[in-house]
Copies of this chain bind each other. A is one copy, B any other.
Amino acid sequence: MKVPRGFKAAGISCGIKEGAEDLALIYSELEASAWGLFTSNRVKAAPVLYSRRKLRRGRARAIIANSGCANACTGPKGLEDARRMAQAVARTLGIPEGEVLVASTGVIGEPLPIERIEAAVPELSRSLSPEGFEEAARAIMTTDERPKIRWASTSFGGKEITVLGIAKGAGMIRPNLATMLAFLVTDAGIDPPLLRGLLREAVSESFNRITVDGDQSTNDTVFLLANGASGPLGEGGMGALREALKEVARGLALEIVRDGEGATKVVEIVVRGARNRRDAERAAYRLAHSPLVKTALFGSDPNWGRFMVALGDAGVKIDPARVQIRIEGLPLVKDGVQAPEFDEAKVRELMRRDEFRIEVDLQLGEGSFGLFTCDLSYDYVRINASYRS
């Protein structure tokens, strides 16, 4: 693990979840440029409402996050609790309250056990270290099976910058973020306005192109902190940072799909030839969200009729007689009917892989969109029928 200069992190158990890490802290020794993107669900958790406001200044030094309780649908007390989380960190680290960002994930509607969090912050702060990102990644997990952590370093003009990110995902993952938290940090130096553009671009090509079950949570949050510990970016630095950021964000996004609730495989869905990009995006998501498509993926069943049904039902322009569908290059549908060279056994074999690609060509225009999704398995039902018990 390569950690950007001037950043530390920690993860400990404060007693929200029995016997598991549930409280994470990320700290920058220098004041950092900061930005965040949040859920577009109209029901927003308290920490989302709180942090969005704090980010207006574009500066931050710390992120505190808990799992086990979403602090969502908790009314004025929830907002007060989010503020108290920030205050506890500010007090202990001796930084302004306004420079602490807050995130939560877990069960909706239950009050945050704020006293436990407050009591644990001093120990959490003492645990801060550059190596602490692994524990932090562990502490934000809910139904995730694995902690998610990615980093990338890049050099230009004799200077090196590093981007590191941690994330949690699992269920409720879909466009415009999801019950997904991702915290990205870099030692690059960049002003807030430029930082915003970079984050938006990286997210649109990563976290906004994945979907597990089409449900979008109240708590989705992506933070990016850039503390400039590697000095000013200078010429060529912007492009290098952009690429490193995208690499980390894409890596985390794919990890989230791979670790989707009950997922047994990752499927890339690419729609081309749509009337426009928006149609391509809608068609791709309609395929990715169709339970009949998702169960066919689970069953490795090249039941292409279900793909046709989803396409016809996507609310976009299609001409059934022009539709082409391929899996890993092998034709299933040609001009809306079964391709003459369709080899069911061969396609089934390909669909048994951990990862494969479905390509749809609508042959109507230039619009295209690609995303990553996973299948719908018994385990998805098991996990979600008993998540709280």
Q: Does A41 contact B (CB under 8 A)?
A: yes
Given contact pairs A213-B291, A292-B215, A299 touches B386 in the complex (Cβ within 8 A) = yes
- B389 to A333, Cβ gap below 8 A? no
A304 close to B (CB within 8 Å): yes
A199 within 8 A of B: no
A250-308 CB contacts (< 8 Å) to partner B: 290-292, 295-296, 298-299, 301, 303-306, 308
**Per a CB cutoff under 8 Å, which of B75, B218, B336, B381 touches A309?**
B218
Bound-complex Cα distance A300 to B295 (A): 23
CB distance from A364 to the nearest CB of B (A): 12
Q: Select which of B73, B337, B386 is within 8 A of A333 by beta carbon.
A: B73
A216 touches which of B72, B108, B309, B376 (Cβ 8 Å): B309
A312 in contact with B41 given A215-B290, A336-B75 (CB within 8 Å): yes
Nearest to A348 among chain B residues (CB) is: B389
Q: Mark A351-389, 1 if CB is under 8 A from B, else 0.
A: 000000000000000000000000011101110111111
Contact between chains at A215 and B73 (CB < 8 Å) = no
A321, B76: Cα distance in complex, Å: 10
Report the bound CA distance from A171 to B42 in whole Å.
31
Q: Is A337 a contact partner of B109 (Cβ separation < 8 A)?
A: yes
Kindly identify, within residues 215 to 246 of chain A, every residue whose CB is under 8 Å from any CB belonging to chain B: 215-218
Chain B nearest CB, measured from A178 CB (Å): 10
A41 to chain B, nearest CB (A): 4
CA distance A41 to B308 in the complex (A): 10
Q: Which residues of B contact A75 (CB under 8 A)?
A: 321, 335-337
Stoichiometry, copies per complex: 2
User: In the complex, what residue of chain B is closest to A305 when comparing beta carbons?
Assistant: B108
Residues of B close to A110: CB separation below 8 A:
338
Q: Is A70 an interface residue (CB 8 A)?
A: yes
Q: Which residues of B lie under 8 Å from residue A102 when comparing CB positions?
A: none
- A359 and B183 CA atoms in complex are apart in Å by 38
- Point out the residues of chain B lying under 8 angstroms from A218, CB to CB: 305, 308-309, 312
If A73-B336, A291-B376 touch, whether A312 touches B384 (CB-CB below 8 Å) is no
Q: Tell me which of B301, B336, B387 contacts A385 (CB under 8 A).
A: B301
Docked pose: A359 CA to B107 CA in angstroms = 22
Residue of B nearest to A293 (CB): B215
Render A12-51 as a binary contact track against B, CB cut-off 8 A, 1 for contact.
0000000000000000000000000000011110000000
A214 contacts chain B at the CB level, 8 A cutoff: yes
> Which of these, B72, B380, B382, B386, contacts A305 with CB under 8 Å?
B72
Which B residue's beta carbon lies closest to that of A375? B385
Contacting pair A298 B385 (CB below 8 A): yes
Contact B109 A301 (CB under 8 A): no
- Bound Cα distance from A44 to B321, whole angstroms: 11
Instruction: Compute how far the CA of A216 lies from the CA of B292 in the bound complex, rounded to whole angstroms.
Output: 10
Contact of A303 among B215, B311, B387 (CB under 8 A): B387
Determine if A318 and B42 form an interchain contact, defined as CB atoms under 8 angstroms apart. yes
Contacts of A381 in B (CB 8 A): 295, 298, 376-378, 380-381
A172 touches B (CB below 8 Å): yes
Q: List 12 A-B contacts (CB under 8 A).
A: A43-B320, A73-B333, A75-B335, A75-B337, A108-B306, A109-B304, A109-B337, A215-B291, A215-B306, A215-B313, A218-B308, A291-B380
Across chains A and B, which 7 residue pairs bring their CB atoms closest together, nearest first? Answer: A108-B305, A43-B312, A299-B385, A295-B384, A41-B312, A42-B312, A75-B337
